[in-house]
Amino acid sequence: MKDNIVLIGFMGCGKTTVGEKLAADLSFDFIDTDQYIEEKEAMIINDIFATKGEEYFRGLETSSLEELISCTEKTIVSSGGGLPLRKENAELLKKLGFVVYLRVQNETVLQRLKGDTTRPLLACENPAKRVEELLEFRDPIYEVGAHLVVDVDGKTVEAIAEEIVRNYEIMRQSKKEDKGIGNE
Ligand code: S3P
């Protein structure tokens, strides 16, 4: 595992906000996979979905992960909400770093994304039903794909970041101890 922290979770769970806070607290770089893809393709996500389709976008997520594994260190990576769903991506995420699932309730998602037009998957007649269905399907996948699960509802960004840093330090410490034992 590389020395990065990777945030996964549903749209609106706070990956970007928490990620930027973590990057500031730990003096790490910050990368958002959606932004990374938009820059590489010179196109916004909505247009990628509309002109090239979701499968094409999912392929870009996989190739971006491969690139990030080879070029990042001490970076907070905020990943697109659907990225961990491909089995190969889930494996790549765990290579990329300490994976944290920010678990959110659907009411919070709806509240936060009210009026948002940047998420093609929620541009439908009944976004509430869509969020409920997607979350129900994705929650167990996110959970299995993570080293740590943090429930975010009702918590401040500071409290969430602290919880992540505390667990990240514990993981690093236990890795050091494992290495020590092996070297004796
Ligand atoms: C998606 C989430 C979005 C973006 C795309 C698809 C998803 O990222 O990658 O619209 O499948 O949940 P955010 O989770 O950053 O909104």
* Ligand 1 atom closest to the CA of 118, numbered from 1: 10
Query: Tens of pLDDT along the chain (184 residues)?
Result: 999 999 999 999 999 999 999 999 999 999 999 999 999 999 999 999 999 999 999 999 999 999 999 999 999 999 999 999 999 999 999 999 999 999 999 999 999 999 999 999 999 999 999 999 999 999 999 999 999 999 999 999 999 999 999 999 999 999 888 887 655 5
Which distant-in-sequence residues (6+ apart) come within 8 Å of 40 by Cβ? 60, 64
- Nearest protein Cα to ligand 1, atom 15: 80
Cα–Cα dist 63/15, whole Å: 20
CB 68 within 8 A of CB 110: no
Among 7, 20, 34, say which to mutate for ligand 1: greatest number of ligand atoms within 8 Å of CB. Answer: 34
- Nearest protein Cα to ligand 1, atom 8: 80
pTM listed for this prediction: 0.95
Cα–Cα dist 154/161, whole Å: 14
Find the 33 Cα to ligand 1 centroid distance in Å: 10
